[in-house]
Each structure stands twice: as structure tokens, then as C-alpha cells.
């Protein structure tokens, strides 16, 4: 994991590399499947199912962050899927914040053009 500024949180957060993301994504999709099955059989609300199946995925992320010497913030699962290094571009040459996408031509923070 690497600490990187994330636009959604407006703060530096631990970002997952592809290996870590694959592990968390696998747990995430498993939790979603379990939620659907649980809701169909018990008529539980989304909030009830989420309370039951989301904590292990969040714990996995926080555990990976702790292993890397970072503290993973408490986040919703759909938001957690955005904490992926590969989703962001290189740092801006002017302000140093990451570009919002790997293909970004301008820095959203300062408006500087991406270096060629």
C-alpha cells in the first residue's frame, strides 16, 4: 500500500496495489453475493445485510493497511473500491497531487497541463 491523496476523501489514504486490490475485490464480490442470498431468504433490508457482510471486507483492507504501516480509514465498501493505485495518474509536476485518471491531460487541482 502507498499513501496517496484521494479526491473523494480530500486526504491521503492507503491505496491498494493490484495484488492487494484483487484480494479485497474478491472478498467484496463474495460479500455482495452473500448479501443477495441472505436478503432473498430472510427479507432483510440492505442495511441489515450490509451490517452482517461488510465488516470482514473492511477488516481485510484495514489489515492490509496496518501490515504496510498505514491506518486504513473506515469507509463504505463501494467507496473502498476506489482506493486503487492503478485508477490514478502520476503526480502533477506543478502541485504534486495525483492526476485523477491515468489518461488525464490536466491537473484538476491546479489546472497545469500534464507533462509529455
The domains of the chain are located at 2-83, 88-116
Predicted confidence band at 71 (pLDDT cuts at 50, 70, 90)? confident
The C-alpha cell of 49 is what?
Answer: 445485510
Res. 59: pLDDT tops 90: yes
10 or 31, which is more confident: 31
The reported pLDDT for the residue numbered 38 is: 97
What DSSP character marks residue 50?
H
Query: Could you report the per-residue pLDDT of 75-105, keeping only the tens digit for each?
Result: 888 888 999 999 999 999 999 999 999 999 9
**Exposed (0-12), middle (13-18) or buried (19+): which is 91, by Cβ within 10 Å?**
middle
Average pLDDT over residues 36-62: 94
The reported pLDDT for the residue numbered 44 is: 95
Percent with pLDDT over 90 in the chain = 72
Average pLDDT over residues 13-17: 92
The reported pLDDT for the residue numbered 79 is: 85
pTM as predicted: 0.84
* Pure H helices in the chain: 18-42, 46-53, 55-67, 77-80
Amino acid at each position: 500500500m502507498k499513501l496517496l491523496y484521494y479526491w473523494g476523501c480530500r486526504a491521503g489514504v492507503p491505496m491498494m496495489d493490484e495484488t492487494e486490490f484483487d484480494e479485497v475485490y474478491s472478498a467484496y464480490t463474495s460479500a455482495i453475493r452473500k448479501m443477495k442470498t441472505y436478503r432473498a431468504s430472510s427479507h432483510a433490508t440492505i442495511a441489515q445485510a450490509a451490517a452482517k457482510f461488510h465488516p470482514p471486507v473492511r477488516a481485510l483492507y484495514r489489515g492490509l493497511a496496518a501490515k504496510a504501516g498505514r491506518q486504513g480509514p473506515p469507509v463504505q465498501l463501494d467507496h473502498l473500491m476506489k482506493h486503487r493505485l492503478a485508477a490514478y495518474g502520476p503526480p502533477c509536476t506543478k502541485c504534486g497531487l495525483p492526476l485523477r485518471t491515468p489518461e488525464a491531460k490536466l491537473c484538476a487541482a491546479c489546472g497545469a497541463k500534464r507533462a509529455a
